[in-house]
Amino acid sequence: MALTQTVQKGGCAAKVSAAELRHILSQVQFPKPHRELLVDGRYFDDAGVYKINESIALVQTLDFFTPILDSPRYFGAVAAANALSDVYAMGGRPKTAMGILAFPLATMSSDTIVEVMQGASDVVAEAGANFVGGHSIDDDTLKFGLSVTGFVHPEKIWTNAGAKVGDHLILTKPIGTGTITAGLKRQELKENDMLDVIQSMSQLNNAIDFLSDDQINAVHAATDITGFGLSGHSMQLAKASQVTLKIESEKIPVFKLAFNCLEKKFLTKAHRSNADYTNESVQSDRLSILFKSLIHDPQTSGGLLLAVDPLYSPDFIRALKNRFQSVAVIGCVVELEQKSVIFE
């Protein structure tokens, strides 16, 4: 069974649009935060952070979605890497993971979910975390993800809100997963055509284990690029930090199939909603039509976007190059201008 044919939307392209989500959340009266709550959803950070003591804070997140790939084991691996990424994006290390599973018992074999779970379990093990349980329901369509808890030092948290003027912007993975997986769903591509994309989406965003303490401290802001695209997530970082990001389009790493898929109009609803979400705050008029679609492309388990002290960025790139082969400096942080992000 080709899993992508069992759902209407797959991966992070299935997320509620950012604009709609903001509208919904603005109407909810949340509890008054504890003083130990160091990071909440105010700036659309990737996870919440709660201080336990002077040396440990909990990083908490969850992420789940419908199949983005046809092979159950690949899907499980990507879903796990995507959920674990939120902890890495906060500068933390994952410790425990719990599965979130919706499964159509009447139409799918239990062997399918065994494969999904095994793919996820392998990635959780690679992260050095423990798979401690979860919850499942009988549902019309397959959905899977993880709730993840990690640790971070309270004074070494990476957030959306710390980018400084002069910082270099570093992206660790190529973009284009949204249009390429849309091609798979349309059955215009096969998984063997996009093994580089599958490998990237399955790869842990673990950067901190390959960086020195000085390099970790040189990261002033961070996020991972997922369903709201490079445009949406960079805009959120810029607004939270009250700066403008200037991004050079020719320096953005791109998957080799991405432009071909965009030319064939392999698009998702998220391409349009991301463009609408960022329309007033992102300047992209100097880009080609295809590149405009690319910056709005919804990523699943995309790379980290890091605002890094420029004195450390050359060593930073060298430290990560063996792990993230496409890692690159794609722009810089400047004083706040009329637009939050300028694509040049």
| Distance, CA of 80 to CA of 82 (rounded, Å) | 5
**What is the number of alpha carbons within 13 Å of residue 329 lying toward its C-beta?**
17
Burial (Cβ within 10 Å: 0-12, 13-18, ≥19) of residue 30: exposed
Catalytic residue among 3, 7, 12, 68: 12
**What is the number of alpha carbons within 13 Å of residue 274 lying toward its C-beta?**
30
Instruction: Classify each residue of 307-344 as buried b or exposed e, where b means 16 or more C-beta atoms within 10 Å of its C-beta.
Output: bbbeebbeebbebbeeebebbbbbbbbeeeeebbbbbe
| Distance, CA of 36 to CA of 57 (rounded, Å) | 9
Active site residue 12: yes
CB 268 within 8 A of CB 176: no
For the CA atoms of the chain, what is the radius of gyration?
A: 19
| Distance, CA of 127 to CA of 299 (rounded, Å) | 21
CB 39 within 8 A of CB 47: yes
Give the residue numbers marked as catalytic. Answer: 12
